[in-house]
Structures are given as structure tokens and as C-alpha cells.
Amino acid sequence: MEVTSDFYNLVEETSSKLYIKALKDLPPDVRIGLKAAYERETSTTGLQILNTMLENVKIADSQTRLICQDTGIPIYFVKVGDKLRLSMCQLEEAIVKGTARATTEHPFRSSVVSPLKRQNNQNSTGYRIPVIHYQFVKDSEDLEILMVPKGSGSENMSFLKMLIPADGLRGVKRHILETIIGMGANPCPPYTVGIGLGGTSDLCMKLAKIASTTRELDSKNSDPEMAELEQELLEAINSLKIGPMGLGGVNTAMAVHIEHAYTHITQNPVGINIQCWPARRARAILKANGNIEYGY
């Protein structure tokens, strides 16, 4: 189906709304995860921290405020139905404009700067930002946009290690746990650990990002072996007792998600990306006829 010029206006409007929604409205699965963490917590300090987080979410709801001051780097995961006839350049332009509009019209802090001069355009955009990932979907007329504001405390805790096959699964687990210990409180626990296994160096890190930011908290990998590894790592990470905001307790991670790809015969890459406790995301599905469904 051929889209009209109105469709790009709709993409711009939707991208803007999604950024604001993601900053203010915590997904239901994350709210459930935080409450479950509170129920499980045994440390007094851990309970106080989790209680503060739950209060924070309540205040953000009642006063329509941002959940966290860190407005993050804007990331969009876009799924394009192969039956939509559209200009990818105009689509991208609309998402960039929507990002800028959200920032200046709301308004909220632009957290995006150039790497050398640290120049801030004050609209959350810049060269190659927002980050936009595309995926194409067979037999679909829909355009799905998932918006993720990625805070720096968790994004700074991103690591790639090119292990070798001889390191085996034991080496992979060891590396993940050692890296988590080194992170301490930095990624604002209790967090979601995203693990990328396999691929090339760049694909491995992208898989880790998909794992940490796009899935519902209680989702399991569809491959039973991967799902088992997710559970084993979750238990091992929580046994470290880093706890909420690193002040001790049984809730360091609310979830471990793994995404994988085949890799080279001589490689064994492991990517780690963390999503902090307010695992913010907002989703919209745009139909070619202009209807929109909002979700998370």
C-alpha cells in the first residue's frame, strides 16, 4: 500500500509522543517487576531504595513528570511491513523531527552532545542521533516504532569481549559475572542484563541492546537452552548481593535476556548491555490507513 504525505506527519507526531510517553509512563511489566523485587527483598536498605523507586513512579504518574532526569540517548527500533510503499529517507526525517519536537515542545533536557566539542543542539538530535534500527517484516502493512530513551548510567556499562571457542560456555559465564561485579552500582540496579552471544563484534553488541531494551521483563528466550542460561545467570547475578542501587540486597537484576546469532568458527563473542531499573520504552503501531495503537 502506497502511503500519503500525511503518513510522514503522523510518524513525526508519533515519534514525538513516544519519546515523552517513554520518559513518563513505565511499562506495566516493569511496574510488576519492581513490586515483585520489593516483595522478595530481605535487606532493610534494599527495601527502602525499592520503596523510593515505587514512590517515584507513583509521583511521575500523578503529576505526569519524568521518571528520571536522565532523558537518555533516543533510540528507535522500527519494523517496516514489506507491503508498505514508503520513502525510507522521509521516514527517517520524520523520526528525527519528532525527536527534536518532543524535546523543544515539552520541553525537557537534551542529553545529546557532539563527542569532541560537547556541543548540545538542545533538541536531543545530532549527527547520527537518534539511533534508528530497522527491521523488515514479511506480509505486513504496519509500521511499528519502539522508542527507548537509553540512560547513560546503564549505557556506560556496555562491554564487548571477543572470547575464543576454547573458552567455552564456562568462560562466557565467568566473563559475564566478573563484568557484573566490576559494574557495582553504576547501572542503577535492579536492572535488566542484556547479553548478545555470537555474530560479529557490531552485531553482538546490537543483540545485547535488543536483549536489554526491547523485551518484556518476564519474557524468556524461545530456545529452551538459552532460556535456561538466562535463568541460571539471573540467579548467579542476584547471589552477588549488589542489591538495589548497589547498597546490598537480593535484587541486583530483575531479568537476564539473551539474544544470539551464529558466529565464525574461531570466535565466541559476548556483548553485555544493561538497562537500568526504569526500563523505559514506548511502542506504537501505525496502520497505512492512519490508525495508531499505542503500547509498550
Shortest Å distance, C-beta 70 to ligand SF4: 3
Q: Which is nearer to ligand SF4, 18 or 197 (CB)?
A: 18
Judge if the upstream peptide bond of residue 107 is cis by omega within 30 degrees of 0: yes
Q: Which residues contact ligand SF4 (rule: CB under 6 A)? A: 68, 70, 72, 151-154, 188, 276-278
Strand-pairing partners, residue 283, are 146, 295
When the beta carbons of 242 and 276 are compared against ligand SF4, the nearer one is 276
- Residue 237 backbone phi and psi in degrees, to 5: -65, -40
Nearer to ligand SF4, 23 or 229 (CB): 23
* Secondary element (H or E) of residue 76: strand 73-81
CA distance 27 to 216: 9
CB of 55 to ligand SF4, least distance (A): 15
Least distance (Å) between residue 37 CB and ligand SF4: 14
CB 203 within 8 A of CB 143: no
Complex with ligand SF4: residue 70 or 259, whichever CB lies closer: 70
Within the chain, what is the greatest distance between any pair of CA atoms?
58
Question: 37 or 172: whose CB is closer to ligand SF4?
Answer: 37
- Nearest residue to 258 via CA among 202, 208, 189: 208
- Minimum CB separation from ligand SF4 for residue 188, in Å? 3
Spatial CA neighbour of 81 closest among 141, 1, 135, 145: 141
CB of 166 to ligand SF4, least distance (A): 35
Cα 277 versus chain centre, distance: 11
Q: Are strands 131-137 and 159-163 parallel, antiparallel or unpaired?
A: unpaired
**Taking the complex as a whole, how short is the minimal distance between the CB of residue 80 and ligand SF4, in angstroms?**
28
* Cα distance between residue 238 and residue 22, in whole Å: 27
276 contacts 34 by C-beta, under 8 angstroms: no
Give the residue with the Cβ less far from ligand SF4, 11 or 57.
57
CB of 151 to ligand SF4, least distance (A): 2
Asked whether the beta carbons of 193 and 233 are under 8 A apart, the reply is: yes
Q: How many CB atoms lie within 10 A of CB 275?
A: 30
Residue number, 60 or 288, with CB nearest to ligand SF4: 60
